Chains A and B, each alone.
Chain A
């Protein structure tokens, strides 16, 4: 039982961090399907840097890499007014190809086995603290209010003297930092970087954010639920159900099936930020 709980937390952590990164972007009105690419970039940068600069250097460089991608998204969507989804897809493609190349080209053979990193519990704590911090931030601070306002109606916010581009810049900066931490966590958990190691977690985090109605605490809950079903399938794999043995692939599909059903059926009140994707 305890192992199931621990596994749930471990599998949820990168999702929570990425979902919070999605929150600071999408709540300000910037659609962000590039979470996946930002995480992947951070993971690769961390794996390349930490053998040389240690865990702290690795984390900082990982975050820096994700921030670069994230601010590129800001530049493309806000200054050049390119469609948010197209920009996100392009960034994911750049990250997939770029990390593959850098991993092959620059990995230090001497450190191929495992890279030094923070213990994973540091990330677990962050994953539970950050949603609470963000929850307080949007309710209690000027920046948070402006983020909500810009995400709901950038034009009206502008009339009230708020600058949407500026608000979104800081939102995407935070997205970079949070997805950066998420990416580094993946490397800390497995010990190495492997190609496409994010394996769709950025999209699942986005689904959790939508499921949580673009609110930090419900999104945290949605990530935990996904983590729980992932942990459950790991534990149940190979267990026969009513005497029939179910293929491992079927079990592996369980968390995704739950996500689809939840997205389709339990969304309830529409909380989509009305300014999502609007200049």
Chain B
């Protein structure tokens, strides 16, 4: 049998660490093949080797039966291999059409008219809608994902690598994406899916490869395995199923939001009269598609944007009257959505990043002075909390992988007596175990009386972890009635604004 992709004995070291150790991968043509594993298991590294972005120390690579040796992504693209990375490769400042053709323009002079025609043909074929001349910054995450797939088709990729493609998508958009992928596979494309969502593997893939610690642990037919077994293979031990608290919380209200209205960046209303109560010790999950107003809600609560109307009371104090630094003193903590932009300074050390945002509080500050000894101690605690893997607290944040940065940022938000925890996708980029650790951490802070609001685009994650759920759509917040408080379909309907 001939394979679309055949990797044998791939080994790759970063410094002294073996990211991949003698890994084999065989992918049959015309199938969807899943690669699963924890963070740092080597999934993305293996895919970057296949895409020519990394050069393995040893091992061989065959694409469609031909031995190949890629020295750059350009060569991989020419051999028919395409990759959509976790952070999309869409450049917001140029148009959708320009993004589509970039790197594969087909001539010195651009023929935008015929390019637009061919682009439209591809889009029609996949059932996608695009306004080709609009800047790509207007695209939703789902739109960007679709454009990425068209980019692969434009380059005539026959082997498509998708790294965590549904991380930013709503359930409906994910379902649509898999419909497209099923169709592409049926037409003969080979799809390699890197994911941490096991339902996707079980529902859509035919084979699955499990990596752990840079080693291929197992490869199975999906029809011959199940979720529990895969989860155990991934973490290398048994996984306890988490059960959320069933009894309603009777503690007093900690956070009360009334009629909160906020202007959006384009002059429209980003929040349209939000009413919400969160009790001490309660973890509230907010479901919703990206861009429904979750970002503005969090930014208003931490003081980055001003409310137009409404009131916010936190533990009997008027939160909106306070400056961001006073809010931090009152215990408002955020696990920010965009780690790079809002949560860490990548050139700074872990020590320095540990005090970021908390720099006025003890033990980081001692009067006007920075207490670097205590800061170092605290940074060590923060790193230890969720087992952040690092090479030293004096190294820059940039030396950590995305998942490890997330662990650090989450632990920082929970470290100094939080009263209100605002967590935006707190488990973004984390594996099953890391996700559970972070939620358990938030849960522990709640047990000490804090209130928590968690925003996630993954409804199942919220259902599993939170005490109570609400949904946002178009700047409004809605809660399901008591009978449907944990009903997936009912909340899904609220997410798209159908009561």
Binary per-residue interface labels of chain B (85-105) against chain A in the complex, 1 for a CB within 8 Å, 0 otherwise: 100011111100010011111
- Closest-by-CB residue of A relative to B108 is A142
Binary per-residue interface labels of chain A (78-119) against chain B in the complex, 1 for a CB within 8 Å, 0 otherwise: 000000000000000000000000000000000000000000
Bound-state Cα–Cα, A156 to B86, Å: 12
Q: Which residues of B contact A140 (CB under 8 A)?
A: 109-110, 112
| B193-245, CB < 8 A from A | none
Supposing A142-B108, A161-B77 touch, asked if A149 and B85 sit within 8 A by C-beta, the answer is no
Q: Report which of A139, A141, A143, A161 forms a contact with B103, defined as CB distance below 8 A.
A: A161
Bound-state Cα–Cα, A198 to B53, Å: 46
A119 CB → nearest B CB, Å: 33
Binary per-residue interface labels of chain A (244-266) against chain B in the complex, 1 for a CB within 8 Å, 0 otherwise: 00000000000000000000000
Q: Report which of A145, A152, A156, A161 forms a contact with B74, defined as CB distance below 8 A.
A: A161
Bound-state Cα–Cα, A124 to B40, Å: 61
Q: Which residues of A contact B90 (CB under 8 A)?
A: 156
Q: Report which of B53, B85, B103, B109 forms a contact with A162, defined as CB distance below 8 A.
A: B103
Q: Which residues of A contact B72 (CB under 8 A)?
A: 161
A11 CB → nearest B CB, Å: 33
Does chain B have a CB within 8 A of A157? yes
Q: Which residues of B contact A273 (CB under 8 A)?
A: 93
Task: Pick from A152, A160, A274 the residue with the most CB of B within 10 Å.
Answer: A160
Does chain B have a CB within 8 A of A1? no
Bound-state Cα–Cα, A161 to B51, Å: 11
| A108-162, CB < 8 A from B | 139-146, 148-149, 152-153, 156-162
Q: Which residues of B contact A161 (CB under 8 A)?
A: 72-74, 77, 103-104
Supposing A157-B102, A160-B102, A162-B103 touch, asked if A149 and B91 sit within 8 A by C-beta, the answer is yes
B396 CB → nearest A CB, Å: 16
Bound-state Cα–Cα, A241 to B377, Å: 69
Q: Which residues of A contact B53 (CB under 8 A)?
A: 159
- Closest-by-CB residue of A relative to B105 is A142
Bound-state Cα–Cα, A149 to B104, Å: 13
A217 CB → nearest B CB, Å: 18
Does chain A have a CB within 8 A of B367? no
A247 CB → nearest B CB, Å: 45
Q: Which residues of B contact A145 (CB under 8 A)?
A: 94, 98, 101-102, 105, 110
| A156-184, CB < 8 A from B | 156-162
Instruction: Count contacts on B: residues with CB < 8 A to the other chain.
Output: 24
Q: Which residues of A contact B107 (CB under 8 A)?
A: 142
Bound-state Cα–Cα, A167 to B89, Å: 18
A136 CB → nearest B CB, Å: 10
Bound-state Cα–Cα, A274 to B90, Å: 13
Binary per-residue interface labels of chain B (73-87) against chain A in the complex, 1 for a CB within 8 Å, 0 otherwise: 110010000000100
Bound-state Cα–Cα, A143 to B74, Å: 17
Bound-state Cα–Cα, A142 to B104, Å: 9
Contact B108 A152 (CB under 8 A): no
Supposing A140-B109, A142-B108, A145-B110 touch, asked if A159 and B89 sit within 8 A by C-beta, the answer is yes
Bound-state Cα–Cα, A278 to B110, Å: 27
Bound-state Cα–Cα, A118 to B110, Å: 35
Q: Which residues of A contact B108 (CB under 8 A)?
A: 141-143
Q: Which residues of A contact B93 (CB under 8 A)?
A: 148, 152-153, 273-274
B38 CB → nearest A CB, Å: 25
B265 CB → nearest A CB, Å: 12
Q: Report which of B74, B85, B91, B109 forms a contact with A142, defined as CB distance below 8 A.
A: B109
Q: Which residue numbers of A lie inside 8 Å of B, CB to CB?
A: 139-146, 148-149, 152-153, 156-162, 273-274
Give me the 4 closest cross-chain CB pairs, A-B, nearest first.
Answer: A160-B103, A161-B74, A161-B103, A152-B93
Supplied contacts A145-B102, A159-B53, 4 more A-B pairs, CB within 8 Å: A141-B110, A145-B98, A145-B101, A159-B73
> Can you list 13 A-B contacts with CB-CB less than 8 angstroms, sorted by A residue number?
A139-B110, A141-B108, A142-B109, A146-B102, A149-B98, A152-B92, A153-B93, A156-B89, A157-B102, A160-B103, A160-B104, A161-B74, A162-B102
